[in-house]
A and B are shown apart, each in its own frame.
Chain A
Amino acid sequence: MSRPEDNLPPDLFYNDTESRKYTTSSRIQNIQASMTNRALELLGLETPSLILDIGCGSGLSGEILSDGDPAHTWIGMDISPSMLAVALDREVDGDLLLGDMGQGLPFRAGTFDAAISISAIQWLCNEDEKGVDPKTRLSRFFDSLYACLKRDGKAVCQFYPRDEKQRDMICSAAIKAGFGAGLLEDDPETKNKKLYLVLTVGGEGNKDITGVVKNMDGVDVYDNRKKLLAKAKGEAKHGTKAWIMKKKEMDRRKGKVVKSDSKYTGRKRNIKF
């Protein structure tokens, strides 16, 4: 399937015809609805909340937020004027903002209880013009998202990465911004696989990201952090004897002249020396 991300920047791709096509297609409506419901399930909100919808488009996901139980209030943001025009025509409940998420979100700190984003953040990886750096845009976006969520807040972003590299780029940008992050993959190994980036902001209940899916059925947890920790432990720490030996070995393999190892290698010099 061709990716719209590869053709044009989002504000130009979703023009009037494309926006209408997108909104009226029952296939897309169904997919969007099921993904929004899944995201809501992951957010696990019990009280009516204020939600930010990033890349709200024509409000397909927003409708589900306002119609659900409890009914949430939402504010949507999108870069495509045509999409927002369709949303206005459809008279959605949420407020709509025109803006580029790669420039940061225009909200006060601690505004939202939660944020969702359906099929949007992969657009941030585009390099549409010269001088646009996806990494800067990603970090600008995640930093401002982190700021505008309240403590204990959660965000769920469904996205379609082009490849593993893009997926890792998005995840590491989120972690760098301070989020606790996890990836949930629905229908893995199939054509319909869906990736959800689950993000948490500090707080007592959010200490561990795996807690989000603790009460859900049919979810296997793969904790990559333990492996990473073990790997970091296995590596020699800078300045230790093991590290010096490793360096010497490396130089030896390069064919450099290296002093031979002895029991004095890597020892501290006596103070009176």
Chain B
Amino acid sequence: MKLLTANFISCAVKACKSSSLSFPLHFKDAELASKSVPYNPLLLSNLLPRLDWPALVTSSKELGFTLPDTKPELPRLSATAAAAATTTSDGDMNMDSGVGEEDEKTLRMLHKVLMETEVVEGKMSKNNL
């Protein structure tokens, strides 16, 4: 399961849907793997506003890596700028597209954490019990 998915899942039991414990779920005995996924800055910039950053920081801490405490701010990418960004990153790493160097770095970091890190095996539970 991608970390991205973990950030969206909450407890499905009807009685606990409204309680604050139903989200985020915590990993236990997780086994990690890295899988290469095509880099897609447009998708990431679309998803960023919807991420629950504190939850993401918590779950990544449980899996053993650290993220900045505050949500990185990114300008919303337009389709053309993103297309330019992907083409340049495929070939030479020219940063003269719509994405600045700093933003590109955050996007790459997000891509690595959200899309490429997978939990292959493990348990999810709420409330860290």
Contact = CB atoms under 8 A, between A and B. Distances in A.
B27 interface: no
25 contacts: A47-B42, A47-B79, A48-B42, A48-B43, A48-B46, A49-B43, A49-B46, A50-B47, A70-B42, A71-B38, A73-B40, A73-B43, A73-B115, A93-B37, A95-B5, A97-B9, A99-B12, A103-B12, A103-B14, A106-B9, A106-B11, A107-B8, A108-B10, A110-B50, A113-B46
Interface string A60-95: 000000000011010100000000000000000101
A105 B12 contact: yes
B52 interface: yes
B123 interface: no
Contacts of B2: 95
Contacts of A105: 12
Contacts of A73: 4, 40, 43, 115
Interface string A194-226: 000000000000000000000000000000000
A106 B12 contact: yes
Counting chain A residues whose Cβ lies within 8 A of the other chain, the interface size class is: 20 to 34
Q: Is the interface of A mostly helix, strand, loop or mixed?
A: loop
Nearest to B9: A106
Interface residues of B, number: 23
Nearest to A73: B43
A106 B10 contact: yes
B1 interface: yes
B40 A48 contact: yes
A95 B40 CA distance: 17
